Structure 1
């Protein structure tokens, strides 16, 4: 059953998360290398599309998350992590799934520690 798309973009979520982490639209824009107006606009559009106030804005003190903002931040971090994992599984060097390793017991103490360390890395 098809569902409707979410009322936000991943970019809006990334901007929202960075603002929440840094407590400032200006600091987030500098960290993200985008114009402050772009961050502010994205956050405003996000709030409008959700119908929720995520931040309390104080001119000289930056922004603070509302209760709804705190709840949304937790969910937004999960969404962004899932999106990043979805993209990373497409990378050519991405490995996943179980791995079975076998070795003669007489050689295992000499070879397996180094091999397993290299596999984990």
Structure 2
């Protein structure tokens, strides 16, 4: 007696593949790209929520203990974020270095590439020179 696996019909169209003895088996649908595959892994992906066109992030100035909310777009760069923050708080000019998720960020990096979400916080820091 041949063993037959029952598989749901794929969305791309039902094709039939027969396993074992053709007299005693039921055709099993298969997905054409997997025709010559001996092993496959399926992974469930969560739906990605769309990011709003503009959203608020925070810049935390550790030396003054102040949080500055800034409206940004996901296409903005870190440099543009800094300029917007400096317009809101001109005294922030001396703190040009920012970290996000514990890592320094570069001026040319885009917020979407850093996967910045609404409400995210950037932290200012100053480099210490000397020993």
Query: What band does the TM-score fall into relative to the shorter chain?
Result: under 0.3
Higher strand proportion, which one? 2
Higher helix proportion, which one? 1
**TM-score normalised by L of structure 1:** 0.26
**TM-score normalised by L of structure 2:** 0.25
Q: Which has the larger radius of gyration?
A: 2
